[in-house]
Copies of this chain bind each other. A is one copy, B any other.
Amino acid sequence: MTEAAIVPEATVPGRCAALLVETEPQPETRRVDQIALDLGGIPGTRHHGFTRKAGPREPWYARGMEMRSGRQLTVVAVEELALIAAAMQLPRIAPEWIGANVVLEGVPRLSWLPSGTRLVFADATIVVEAQNAPCRISGRSIARHVDPGGAIAGLSLEFPRQAAGLRGLVASVERAGIIRAGETIAVKLPRQSIWTL
């Protein structure tokens, strides 16, 4: 790695277009005006807490092993949901259908923000953990909404295929507080570099 490969810290603006909390059936969420985050995420919800059970996303761990979470919140972008919908030949994909908690607007390539990026709201801060991987559960939820009769063969599998790199981020709360739909946020990127042998 050379010094030239280092991209300095940067801050870009974004907007919180919507906020959502979990509802039934899994993995759906419903819109709310604001969320009072604590350091474990959204109190009283399935993904709240600092730890979680290992699942199919971590085949190298025993299923059900308690592990560090990193998945308190799911963040998506309006623009990326539109790209996924276009790729799946659907008029739209609602953030409600795929378990999104925070919908941002105006942040290009949201899914590619580096780990450690801070999403700074007026009264709370969220830190990016990783890019989210699209799963078949969300694909089935989309199919239930757009094709309840099951006419389109393989629709639920199209989501994991078409949404890779566009499905947003998983994130943790760094500073607890209330976040509000409609807020302008600051996206604070850490210094970036590439590590190779």
Contact = CB atoms under 8 A, between A and B. Distances in A.
Given A39-B68, A68-B127, A193 B116 contact: no
A114 interface: yes
A51 B66 contact: no
A197 interface: yes
A47 B51 CA distance: 17
B175 A61 contact: yes
Binding site secondary structure of chain A: loop
A89 interface: no
Q: In this complex, which of A109, A114, A195, A197 has the most chain B Cβ atoms within 10 angstroms of its Cβ?
A: A195
B115 A68 contact: no
Contact of A112 (B7, B65, B130, B195): B195
Given A39-B68, A68-B175, A116-B130, 13 more contacts: A1-B112, A7-B194, A10-B197, A12-B197, A39-B51, A68-B127, A70-B127, A70-B174, A114-B193, A114-B194, A115-B115, A116-B129, A189-B195
Interface of A: 1, 7, 10, 12, 39, 50-51, 61, 65-68, 70, 108-109, 112-117, 127, 129-130, 172-176, 189-190, 192-197
